[in-house]
Amino acid sequence: MKKFLFFIYFVVICLVSNAQLSWKNLDSLYQPLPASMHIYKSTDLIDGKPEVVYYVIADMKDKSLNFTTDTTYKRRFTPSQFFEKDNHPLLVVNSCFFSFATNQNLNIVEKNGKLVGYNVHSIAGKKKDTLTYYHSFDGAFGVTKNRTADIAWIYTDSSKKYPYASEFAIPFMHDSVANHSFNDIEINTSLVLGHRGKSVPSFKKWRMKTAIGGGPVLVQNSKVQISNNEERKFYGMAINDRHPRTAIGYTNGHEIIILVAEGRSETASGITLIQEAQILKDLGCKEALNLDGGGSSCMLVNGRQTNSPSDKKGQRSVPSVFLIEKK
């Protein structure tokens, strides 16, 4: 009998863990909002732990909305400061990873078709890896001038007008070369993927009007497929660590979804990359991308803060944000 009860308990726990979250519409708290944009909140348990998760969904085909970015130069602003700087947009959310030492974005930022932030492709090794370098290709989210979205793995170069994209996750390279040219990248990635028996990616110009980077990619082809090991972000067992999170994705119905999850508090434990990916898949994302999280996670709707940031000072200053503006 005890074994039977334990089996029932185990089945219930599995069902609860895999159940989709329930969401409450909060539009009335963040007015005025256009009819094509909505905000939701969930306080359900995830794998038995308390969580607080928000998401905003907006129709990319609504031509009264503008999806764009903003960034700073050698300094950082809080989301509320960006809200004031950018004439009170409908939504402000943190985006790229960045360096605390230099205030530099570590990922692509594109605004009005112009690159204003670049991926850092070479990271010096440490300890036993001294004198070697890691070269990764981070995921990025973009919107074209025709209002279609895409997520791809990106190579940027300040000498080139456009970023270059692969629709396949590319394993990071590890060698003794501090920097590679784009031609080197094409050759080396072809050799790496060809040697492993996988399809060789063809890089193409990624012509976006708006783009932000982060990583890893979470959802591909409407399935949970996390490229953390290829991007060398939260690789190995770190995929299971719980943290505050920020993410962005899009649906087959041409809707953008922006998600933030609280964490590192008594009321919210934070979510893993796997849980984050599953939530976005359940919300209908065709593709989704993790962005900078932790103390940086913060989303404003009409200037009002949604989640409670985990940073002790409140809103953390960041060098770049994703925006939804009302034309």
Looking at residue 3, what is its pLDDT? 46
Looking at residue 16, what is its pLDDT? 38
Where are the alpha helices (H) located in the chain, listed in sequence order? 2-18, 79-85, 182-195, 228-231, 273-282
Rounded distance between C-alpha atoms, residue 13 and residue 217, angstroms: 28
Give residue limits of the domains in the chain.
21-121+211-326
Other CB atoms within 10 A of residue 11 CB: 10
Helix (H) or strand (E) holding 256: strand 255-261
Rounded distance between C-alpha atoms, residue 202 and residue 172, angstroms: 16
- Contacts of 56 by beta carbon, 8 Å cutoff, 6+ apart: 37, 38, 39, 40, 91, 257, 258, 299, 301, 324
Rounded distance between C-alpha atoms, residue 140 and residue 17, angstroms: 29
Rounded distance between C-alpha atoms, residue 289 and residue 270, angstroms: 17
Where are the alpha helices (H) located in 137-195, listed in sequence order? 182-195
Q: What is the pLDDT of residues 47-86, one digit of tens each?
A: 999 999 999 999 999 999 999 999 999 999 999 999 999 9
Task: Name the stretches of the chain with pLDDT < 50.
Answer: 1-17
